[in-house]
């Protein structure tokens, strides 16, 4: 980039020491089924915990309709990402898409939003893990943060072991999670009571049993419906660890999306259609455990199934730890975040510094909310904070897709989205509406969203005041400057 262009964009690049990129290398390992497992595993916890908070806001009908809307958004998002990821095959994911489409500032505002999503999503999941383990082993509530700490220690350690171990664990726990869901679905069918879908929650005055909170319930349930799919978009972060990202990345993303759509609607219909029903599930930290109790009773067998069911939460926890480490690695390698965060282990080539720092941040936020003692569930508040970052990132990624289609029609695209600009525009609109929902539905959730907004603004101040003058020409930066002038 010329000095004139640097001044125009408001950024500057530093020269780095010899061996800078050698200390920041990743190893190729993943193929299509590893990528599928990474995408499904990242999200599958959404069928075990988190989605159910939407029942308290919108009832079954509100959450059902919200899930349809959110499914449409993710179809547009995933097909767009499936086009961009093989065309721009870098670890940066959303950041690299935005860097090519909107320059360094666009890269940072997108990457910062996605970073918030991936730091906070494991914190949400670890609350679910603590809830399940606390219910199974009947530990006092004050011990819950210790379950969280144990989970972070184990799975940050596994991710430090290297990409081969990370992907092998991902494949195993993803298949285990799907097997547990299958057992639940089969067992729930014989207990299904369709009246629970419409009659379990007392409707507000003037509203119907199916939509007990009316249209506002659909609006309010949008952030919780996202939990059925949130983090499927992490797959491009594995681009530099994939053998053939141009061929395998689109397949992994779209196969993963199909799997998650099927699971989302089966979970919603079957878990809500059996006892204890929507009213109880709306405040539960372990909704699938409640369903297993209905199917199999309260004996040791049910607790054993619930313990195995924790693998669903573990699958997502493990894979999103993988994601935040790669995302921090990419942004810090390029100088947007402090560069020392991108150093990788000399032998295993895992981003061990990013793994530890991301865990400390996520655990710290969860612990802060736990001891502040808010009226709203800690998991639900963290979920809304994660969704805040996610929907901003989604909107900016769809903006990147549209700009790349319009400004660079001749860019090599090994895969093209059949929905094109229209699909991206619809996903962008739904993401914007969901962002609005975070601030208007519930006072506790609004407080969480405001906290996320403050985090985001502080991150922007850091870039404006310091980091924008100290960028590095990483692979993402070089690609954008070479191919997309």
Question: pLDDT digits over 124-160, tens only?
Answer: 999 989 988 888 888 998 889 999 999 999 999 988 8
In a domain, 444, yes or no: yes
Residue 352 in contact with residue 339, Cβ under 8 Å?
no
pLDDT at 393: 97
**Residue 87 C-alpha from the chain's centroid:** 22
CATH of the domain at 172: 1.20.1740.10
Structure tokens at 152: 């972070």
- The percent of residues above 70 in pLDDT, for the chain, comes to 94
Residue span of the structural domain in which 105 resides: 27-483
In a domain, 12, yes or no: no
pLDDT band at 161 (very low <50, low <70, confident <90, very high): confident
In a domain, 6, yes or no: no
* Alpha carbon distance 256, 32 (integer Å): 10
In a domain, 4, yes or no: no
* Alpha carbon distance 482, 485 (integer Å): 7
pLDDT band at 3 (very low <50, low <70, confident <90, very high): very low
Q: At 202, phi and psi to the nearest 5?
A: -65, 125
pLDDT band at 2 (very low <50, low <70, confident <90, very high): very low
The answer, yes or no, to whether residue 1 has pLDDT greater than 60, is no
Number of other residues whose CB lies within 10 A of the CB of residue 153: 12
Most confidently predicted of 87-91, 365-369, 398-402 = 398-402
pLDDT at 9: 65
The answer to pTM > 0.85 is yes
Could you give the angle at the alpha carbon of 325 between the alpha carbons of 321 and 327, nearest 5°? 115
The answer, yes or no, to whether residue 348 has pLDDT greater than 80, is no
* pLDDT digit string, tens, across residues 292-337: 889 988 777 777 777 777 888 888 898 899 889 989 998 999 999 9
* Total tally of structural domains belonging to the chain: 1
* Alpha carbon distance 364, 361 (integer Å): 5
In a domain, 16, yes or no: no
pLDDT band at 185 (very low <50, low <70, confident <90, very high): very high
In a domain, 11, yes or no: no
Residues in the chain: 485
Four-residue CA torsion sign, 33, 38, 39, 45: positive
CA dist 56 → 60, 277, 415 (Å) = 9, 11, 41
pLDDT at 401: 97
Q: Which residues contact 225 (CB under 8 A, 6 or more apart)?
A: 51, 54, 63, 66, 67, 69, 70
* pLDDT digit string, tens, across residues 50-93: 899 999 999 999 999 999 999 999 999 999 999 999 988 877 78
In a domain, 7, yes or no: no
pLDDT band at 375 (very low <50, low <70, confident <90, very high): low
Q: What is the mean pLDDT of residues 363-386?
A: 86
Structure tokens at 110: 């997108």
pLDDT at 102: 93
In a domain, 75, yes or no: yes
3-state helix, strand, coil in the chain (%, to 5): 75, 0, 25
């Amino acid at each position: 980039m010329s000095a004139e262009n640097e001044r125009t964009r408001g950024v500057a690049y530093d020269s780095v020491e010899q061996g800078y990129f050698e200390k920041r290398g990743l190893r190729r390992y993943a193929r299509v089924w590893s990528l599928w497992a990474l995408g499904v595993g990242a999200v599958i916890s959404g069928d075990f915990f988190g989605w159910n908070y939407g029942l308290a806001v919108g009832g079954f009908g509100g959450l059902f309709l919200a899930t349809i809307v959110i499914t449409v958004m993710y179809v547009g998002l995933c097909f767009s990402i499936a086009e961009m990821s093989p065309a721009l095959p870098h670890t940066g994911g959303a950041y690299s898409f935005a860097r090519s489409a909107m320059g360094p500032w666009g890269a940072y505002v997108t990457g910062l939003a996605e970073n918030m999503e991936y730091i906070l999503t494991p914190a949400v999941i670890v609350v679910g893990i603590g809830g399940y383990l606390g219910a199974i082993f009947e530990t006092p509530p004050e011990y819950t943060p210790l379950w969280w700490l144990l989970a972070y220690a184990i799975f940050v350690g596994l991710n430090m072991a290297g990409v081969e171990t990370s992907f092998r664990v991902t494949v195993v726990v993803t298949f285990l999670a799907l097997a547990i869901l299958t057992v639940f679905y089969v067992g729930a069918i014989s207990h299904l009571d369709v009246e629970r879908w419409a009659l379990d929650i007392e409707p507000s005055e003037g509203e119907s049993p199916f939509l007990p909170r009316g249209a506002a319930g659909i609006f309010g349930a949008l952030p919780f419906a996202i939990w059925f799919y949130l983090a499927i978009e992490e797959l491009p972060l594995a681009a530099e660890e994939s053998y053939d990202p141009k061929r395998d990345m689109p397949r992994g993303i779209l196969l993963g999306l199909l799997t998650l759509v099927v699971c989302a609607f089966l979970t919603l219909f079957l878990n809500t259609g059996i006892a204890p029903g929507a009213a109880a599930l709306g405040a539960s930290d372990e909704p699938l455990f409640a369903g297993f109790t209905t199917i199999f009773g309260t004996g040791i067998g049910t607790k054993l199934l619930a313990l195995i069911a924790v693998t669903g939460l573990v699958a997502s926890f493990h894979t999103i730890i993988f994601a935040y480490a790669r995302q921090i690695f990419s942004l810090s390698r390029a100088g947007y975040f402090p560069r020392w965060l991108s150093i990788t282990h000399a032998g295993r080539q895992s981003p061990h510094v990013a793994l530890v720092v991301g865990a400390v941040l996520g655990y710290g936020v969860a612990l802060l909310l736990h001891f502040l003692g808010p009226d709203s569930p800690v998991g639900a508040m963290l979920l809304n904070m994660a969704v805040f970052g996610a929907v901003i990132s989604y909107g900016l990624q769809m903006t990147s897709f549209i700009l790349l289609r319009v400004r660079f029609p001749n860019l090599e695209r090994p895969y093209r989205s059949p929905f094109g600009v229209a699909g991206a525009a619809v996903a962008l609109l739904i993401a914007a509406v969901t962002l609005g929902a975070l601030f208007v539905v519930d006072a506790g959730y609004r407080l969480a969203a405001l906290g996320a907004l403050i985090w985001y603004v502080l991150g922007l101040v850091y870039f404006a005041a310091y980091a924008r003058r100290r960028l590095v020409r990483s692979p993402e930066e070089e690609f954008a400057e070479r191919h997309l002038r």
